[in-house]
């Protein structure tokens, strides 16, 4: 790869990091060609972009981004693969890695960056699989906001006779007390 090719590649990688705000850096070294093909197939099925990239090129791309990604630099050793995920699917790469590792020891998670939050080490994989997507979080908030309204509507519709009776009793008390 010539110097110009490397510069163009790094620029393309910078665009990938900007397009996909969530990314996972893994060590996929030791995987056979067949295993790597299977991993790529899983990623393709879930709309996750997977690239095997030299560590120096990853570092150069991260240095060109806004923000401080220096925490990730220590994890850029050995062979690295980067899983790129959209804002809607931040936990999908973690789930793919976990699913794939049911039959293999690799890939190992080196680091992940989810909405600028940095997760270091393979031990964070379980917590990353439990992250909720943006759509799931919005759904939960909407559900929580609708819950009180549903309760009031339910009480009014199911206890309509009761409510009318209570109002009638209160108005009668008020009339007799006057």
The tens digit of pLDDT for each residue in 36-95 reads 999 999 999 999 999 999 999 999 999 999 989 999 999 999 999 999 998 888 999 999
User: Regarding predicted confidence, which is higher, 154 or 138?
Assistant: 138
Domain stop point among 131, 149, 168: 131
Judgement on whether residues 44 and 106 belong to the same structural domain of the protein: yes
Judgement on whether residues 52 and 7 belong to the same structural domain of the protein: yes
Return the beta strands (E) in the chain as ranges: 22-27, 49-53, 80-85, 108-114, 117-120
Judgement on whether residues 140 and 167 belong to the same structural domain of the protein: yes
Which CATH number belongs to the domain containing residue 94 in this structure?
A: 3.30.70.1730
What pLDDT, on a 0 to 100 scale, did the predictor assign at position 161? Answer: 61
Helix, strand and coil content of the chain, in percent to the nearest 5, comes to 60, 15, 25
Residue 107 CA to residue 101 CA, distance in Å, equals: 7
Judgement on whether residues 154 and 108 belong to the same structural domain of the protein: no
Judgement on whether residues 84 and 20 belong to the same structural domain of the protein: yes
For the chain, give the longest Cα–Cα distance. Answer: 97
Judgement on whether residues 72 and 146 belong to the same structural domain of the protein: no
Find out whether 83 and 93 touch, Cβ atoms under 8 Å.
Answer: yes
Find out whether 56 and 3 touch, Cβ atoms under 8 Å.
Answer: no
What pLDDT, on a 0 to 100 scale, did the predictor assign at position 159? Answer: 56
* pLDDT band for position 142 (cuts 50, 70, 90): confident
Q: How confident is the prediction for the chain on average, in pLDDT?
A: 87
* pLDDT band for position 150 (cuts 50, 70, 90): low
Judgement on whether residues 125 and 170 belong to the same structural domain of the protein: no
Judgement on whether residues 115 and 166 belong to the same structural domain of the protein: no
Q: Which of 62, 40, 38, 42 is nearest to 52 (CA)?
A: 40
Judgement on whether residues 97 and 77 belong to the same structural domain of the protein: yes
The CB density around residue 104, as the number of other CB atoms within 10 Å, is 14
Q: Phi then psi for 49, rounded to 5 degrees?
A: -90, 130
Judgement on whether residues 91 and 151 belong to the same structural domain of the protein: no
How many domains is the chain built from?
2
Domain that holds residue 150: 135-177
């Amino acid at each position: 790869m010539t110097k110009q090719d490397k510069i163009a590649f790094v620029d393309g990688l910078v665009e990938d990091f900007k397009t996909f705000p969530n990314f996972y850096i893994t060590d996929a070294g030791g995987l056979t060609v067949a295993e790597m093909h299977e991993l790529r197939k899983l990623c393709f099925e879930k709309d996750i972009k997977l690239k095997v990239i030299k560590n120096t090129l990853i570092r150069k791309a991260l240095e060109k981004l806004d923000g401080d990604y220096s925490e990730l630099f220590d994890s850029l050793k050995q062979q690295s693969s980067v899983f790129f995920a959209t804002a809607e699917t931040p936990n999908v790469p973690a789930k793919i890695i976990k699913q794939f590792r049911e039959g293999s020891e690799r890939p190992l998670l080196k680091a992940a960056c989810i909405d600028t939050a940095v997760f270091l080490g393979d031990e964070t994989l379980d917590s990353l699989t439990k992250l909720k997507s943006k759509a799931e979080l919005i759904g939960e908030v909407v559900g929580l906001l609708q819950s009180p309204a549903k309760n009031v509507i339910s009480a009014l519709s199911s206890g309509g006779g009761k409510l009318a009776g209570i109002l009638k009793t209160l108005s009668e008390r008020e009339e007799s007390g006057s």
